[in-house]
């Protein structure tokens, strides 16, 4: 399952980060690393972006980036 598929109101744990180079580095710089818990706050009306809470701060992610984050 990826973060893109997570339901609003749920909390998921990062299992693995996919992606290459700068994209993966940018996701890690936002605080999303293996083992981090992510609370999915809400989806935009058209589904993009996804608003999440990570390590105490709110963050908006594009669906393309959320698809690279495998969760459990």
The residue range of the domain holding 28 is 3-71
Amino acid 51: pLDDT: 95
The number of domains in the chain is 1
Q: Are 24 and 17 in contact (CB under 8 A)?
A: yes
pLDDT for 46 equals 84
Q: In the chain, what percentage of residues exceed pLDDT 70?
A: 100
What tokens does 9 get? 């109101």
The tens digit of pLDDT for each residue in 33-68 reads: 999 999 999 998 887 899 999 999 999 999 989 999
Whole-model pTM: value is 0.86
Contacts of 38 (CB under 8 A, 6+ apart): 3, 6, 11, 12, 13, 14, 32, 52, 53, 54, 69, 71
CATH label of the domain that carries residue 14 = 2.30.30.90
d(CA 20, CA 25): 8
Pairing of strands 11-17, 37-43: antiparallel
């Amino acid at each position: 399952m990826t973060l893109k598929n997570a339901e609003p109101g749920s909390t998921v744990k990062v299992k693995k980060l996919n992606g290459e180079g700068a994209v993966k580095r940018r996701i890690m710089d936002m605080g999303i690393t293996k083992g981090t818990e992510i609370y999915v706050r809400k989806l935009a009306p058209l589904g993009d972006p996804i608003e999440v809470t990570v390590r105490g701060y709110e963050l908006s992610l594009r669906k393309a980036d959320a698809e690279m984050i495998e969760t459990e």
